[in-house]
Amino acid sequence: MRCPFCQHDNDRVLDTRASEDGFSVRRRRCCNNCRRRFTTYERVEEIGIRVIKKDLVREPLNREKIRAGIETACWKRPPSRERIDSVVEGIVAEIHGQFEDEVTSKQVGEIVMKHLAPLDEVAFVRFASVYHEFDNLNDFVKVLSLRQRPSDVGP
Ligand SMILES: [Zn+2]
């Protein structure tokens, strides 16, 4: 990040905090050249969290991929484009709130399901059946209990 005072591109991060909207982070930085401090605000997708896939290949967290999965699950279901957008934002914000650099694809799937459950029951079941790997019966029961959790969202 270029220093606003001396223009050197050499600084260290002193502190990172999520902003109140959850969609950006505020970082206090210290320039290693002039030693002055400055603050930057970065959109969460610029920070570059990586997803570890099942085959251990890592790829950048992709908001559009999450959205595509949810849109597929919501095919011909009531949730509007706006509802889906806000669910995607919530999912991305939660991932960035819980994980620093890396997250497994399984953890991403669990967060997606948590947000999908109150959105639309059919979409949730579709998503779960495609993305969740049921290693054993306990996992399956866990998912079912997630689905049956009372919704805090109106009808
Ligand atoms: Zn400087």
By the 8 A CB rule, do 58 and 52 touch?
yes
95-105 per-position pLDDT tens digit: 888 887 899 98
- Going from the Cα of 33 to the center of ligand 1, the distance in angstroms, rounded, reads 5
Domain boundaries, the chain: 11-45, 48-147
- Band of pLDDT at residue 117, cut at 50, 70 and 90: very high
Asked whether the beta carbons of 32 and 81 are under 8 A apart, the reply is: no
Task: Please give the Cα distance from 5 to 13 (Å, whole number).
Answer: 16
Q: How far is the centre of ligand 1, averaged over its atoms, from the C-alpha of 19 (Å)?
A: 24
Write the pLDDT tens digit of every residue in 66-86. Answer: 888 898 889 899 999 889 988
Distance separating alpha carbons of residues 139 and 2, to the nearest angstrom: 48
Q: What is the whole-number distance in angstroms between the Cα of residue 25 and the centre of ligand 1?
A: 21
Contact at 8 Å (CB) between 105 and 51?
yes
HSE at residue 36, side-chain half, CA atoms within 13 A, is 11
Our CA angle for 112, 117, 88, nearest 5°, is 40
Whether residue 132 is predicted with pLDDT greater than 80 in this model: the reply is: no
Q: Is residue 136 scored above 80 in pLDDT?
A: no
Q: How far is the CA of 63 from the centre of ligand 1 (A)?
A: 34
Instruction: Select the highest-mean-pLDDT range: 12-21, 28-37, 42-51, 107-116.
Output: 28-37
User: β-strands 102-104, 58-60: how paired?
Assistant: unpaired
Find the mean pLDDT for residues 15-40.
83
> Is there a contact between 58 and 51 (Cβ–Cβ < 8 Å)?
yes
The band of 47, judged by pLDDT with boundaries at 50, 70 and 90, is low
